[in-house]
Amino acid sequence: MRILIVDDEGPARARLRRMLALEPGIEAIEEAADGHAALCCLPEFRPDALLLDIEMPELSGIDLAASLPQPAPLVVFVTAYDEYALRAFDANAIDYLLKPFDQARLRRALERLQARLVSRPASTATGLAPRQLLVTERGATRVVQVADIEWLETADNYVALHTAQGAPLLRQTLSSLLDQLGAGFVRCHRRAAVRPAAVERVVPLDKGDCELVLRGGARVPCSRQYRADLMAALQSG
């Protein structure tokens, strides 16, 4: 099992690493000092599970858990505060370790993780898409609800998340973001994708291209190579 420890306190991470080293079945351990570092670590380290603190600066553990890309690692919350328990299990946590905990309690949490990993389907790519995305702007973190996004547009090395409140830039490729979001968005152009439910009408153009008029008033290009998939998504919706 590959474990990522996410905690803003260095001594807490070190203690947990020492405790994990005493347990069998731990293949690799990595650490992250905050939620942003954890998100950056995911693609390369590919953890099976996160041992995740809740109270961290800028980005809480609850927000991080809700923003994990799919297929998401399992989550065990590790915190000194018991008032977050209900919210933690609403976020599909496997367990909730209340500090201070002993080796036996950690072992029970690891056993629960292992049991869930064994029972998981071979492919978890069809898991639930994240409910929100985290965008860093001028050193601050903005939470963007996926349900508020009408369409997506590439902008150099970023994707603009077009909502009624603006279009914050997420540092990610459009293809990888669409893989993460699942069937909720359909590509309509090499530089754009749209939420089918946001489309109000389709305006035909020359050579099989068309323009999508969204409920919020935006006009989004749709090239002929993507038109059939888009029309199928609109019909099925």
Average pLDDT over residues 217-233: 92
The residue among 86 and 68 whose pLDDT is bigger is: 68
Burial 193-210 (b: 16+ CB within 10 A, else e): bbbbebbeebeeeeeebb
Question: Would you state the pLDDT for residue 126?
Answer: 40
**153 and 224, same domain (yes or no):** yes
Q: Give SS3 for 186.
A: strand
* Sheet (strand 186-189) strand order: 169-170, 158-162, 151-155, 192-194, 186-189
Look at residue 206 and tell me whether its pLDDT is greater than 80.
yes
The residue among 40 and 6 whose pLDDT is bigger is: 6
Least confident of 5-14, 82-91, 209-218: 82-91
pLDDT tens digits along 129-168: 678 888 877 767 788 999 999 999 998 888 999 999 999 9
Question: Would you state the pLDDT for residue 135?
Answer: 84
Residues ≥6 apart with Cβ < 8 Å to 17: 5, 29, 31
Domain tally for the chain? 2
First to last CA, the chain: 40
Residue 126 within a domain? no
Least confident of 76-90, 105-119, 167-181: 76-90
**93 and 139, same domain (yes or no):** no
Question: Would you state the pLDDT for residue 125?
Answer: 40
Distance from C-alpha of 2 to C-alpha of 26, rounded to nearest angstrom: 6
Question: Would you state the pLDDT for residue 212?
Answer: 96
Residues ≥6 apart with Cβ < 8 Å to 114: 1, 25
Q: How confident is the model at residue 207 (pLDDT cuts 50, 70, 90)?
A: confident
Residues ≥6 apart with Cβ < 8 Å to 136: 36, 142, 171
**137 and 163, same domain (yes or no):** yes
Least confident of 31-45, 83-97, 105-119, 220-234: 83-97
Q: Is 141 left (phi over 0), alpha (psi -120 to 50) or beta?
A: beta
Residue 148 within a domain? yes
Contact of 62 with 84, CB cutoff 8 Å:
yes
Average pLDDT over residues 77-84: 81
Residue 125 within a domain? no
Contact of 91 with 66, CB cutoff 8 Å:
yes
Look at residue 228 and tell me whether its pLDDT is greater than 50.
yes
pLDDT tens digits along 15-25: 999 999 999 88
**138 and 109, same domain (yes or no):** no
Residues of the domain holding 221: 132-236
pLDDT tens digits along 104-128: 999 999 999 998 887 765 444 444 5
Which CATH number characterizes residue 25's domain?
Answer: 3.40.50.2300
pLDDT tens digits along 215-224: 999 999 999 9
pTM of the model: 0.59
